[in-house]
Amino acid sequence: MNDIKSYDFDKGKLYYKYNESDDYESKLSIIIIISNEDIIKLIESNIGGYIKIWNFHTGILINKIQVLKSDLNESFVSLYGICLWDNELIFVGCGDKTIKLIDLEKGIVLKSLYGHNESVISIKKFFHPKYGECLISLGEENDNIKLWTNKKIKSLKKSK
């Protein structure tokens, strides 16, 4: 079983263990922490195709979002890199060679970014002096690093 655990390093004790007992879904998880309106959330993306949102302090699962492949069939897509974009919006790198913008509150994919030749394993938001807020992504093995400007991201049509 693959648990996610948080520790109190000052006291040297386990703070909480987050587990929903979906063994396959939990393998190779990527985690970020966000804080909104007095609630700290642990956001997990995993190769089982799910984004799980946990209350950091109680360990209660708040929401579970399944992300499907870009071709709109019913199979899930493996999820890798993850980054917070704006409040309840995250970008997640996917095994179907896309980056998906996901609304955590509504539990839906808003947009898909296309341009990688392999699985997108890492993504990060940063500020570029010329372009402002941008996203940088890295594909697996021999794929290139991509720069996504805020203008390019906003101009994309929403996924159906």
Lowest mean pLDDT among 28-37, 84-93, 139-148: 28-37
Give the confidence band of 159 by pLDDT, cuts at 50, 70, 90.
very low
- Read off the amino acid at residue 158: K
Residue range 69-93: mean pLDDT, rounded = 81
Residue range 106-115: mean pLDDT, rounded = 90
Residue range 38-49: mean pLDDT, rounded = 84
Which residues have a Cβ under 8 Å from the Cβ of 155 and sit 6 or more positions away? none
* Class (C level, CATH) for 4-155: mainly beta
pTM: 0.78
Question: What is the residue extent of each domain of the chain?
Answer: 4-155
Which residues have a Cβ under 8 Å from the Cβ of 156 and sit 6 or more positions away? 111, 112, 113
Query: How do residues 1-28 score in pLDDT, each as one tens digit?
Result: 456 767 667 777 776 666 665 544 455 5
Instruction: Give the per-residue pLDDT at 160.
Output: 42
Instruction: Give the per-residue pLDDT at 137.
Output: 93
Q: Which of 20, 17, 27 is nearest to 49 (CA)?
A: 27
Instruction: Give the per-residue pLDDT at 74.
Output: 61
Instruction: Give the per-residue pLDDT at 143.
Output: 77
- The rounded percent of the chain whose pLDDT value lies above 90 is 21
The DSSP line for 54-88 is EETTT--EEEEEE-B-TT--S-B--EEEEEEEETT
Whether the CB-CB separation of 152 and 132 falls below 8 Å is answered with no
CA-to-CA distance for 122 and 132, rounded, in angstroms?
Answer: 20
